[in-house]
Structures are given as structure tokens and as C-alpha cells.
Amino acid sequence: MVPKGRHTIKVCLGTACYVRGIAEVLDRLKSEFKLGVGGITEDRRFSLEAVRCLGACGLAPVVVVDEDTHGGVSAESVLRILKRYE
């Protein structure tokens, strides 16, 4: 059992998100937070999960943090978004 971070980041790897660039978002998260899918940051701030379609394909690429859905996310904007979650 891997413990959960204070916030859970769900990255959508469904087709719509994939073709609109979620791979770069995921790579940025991995490098910025030294975080793998299924992992947790050292400070326990974030857990990272990959999911298959969050049902919000019109907003692709989509990242959900806790209960908040963020659409049109880029490798740059995802870092700004995550600043709100301490």
C-alpha cells in the first residue's frame, strides 16, 4: 500500500487528452516533482495517478486535482495550477 499525498493529481491518458498533449503535461509533472505514476512526492504533498478518460474530453487535456477539474492544461499551466494546492 502506497500512502496518499495531501492532494491527488489525476492525469487523463484517454485518447482525446493524449492527442492534445497530455504526455508533455505528465512529463513535466514527473520531472518537476520527481514523481512517477502511482507515486507520492517526498513531502507528501501530491500523489499522481493516471486514468483513462475522465469524461470531460471536450476540455482535453484534462487534469483533476482532488475534486477540481482543470481543462486545457499545458506543461506550463499545470505548474501554476498546482501552486494553489499546498
- Give me the least distance between CB of 20 and ligand FES, in Å please: 8
**Rounded Cα distance, 35 and 32, in Å:** 8
Q: Which parts of this chain interact with ligand FES (CB under 6 A)?
A: 12, 14-17, 53-57, 60, 62
The neighbour count for residue 15, using CB atoms within 10 Å, is 12
Task: Give whichever of 16 and 45 is closer to ligand FES, judged by the CB atom.
Answer: 16
Task: Compute and round to an integer the Cα radius of gyration of the chain.
Answer: 12
Task: Give whichever of 5 and 14 is closer to ligand FES, judged by the CB atom.
Answer: 14
Task: Give whichever of 41 and 60 is closer to ligand FES, judged by the CB atom.
Answer: 60
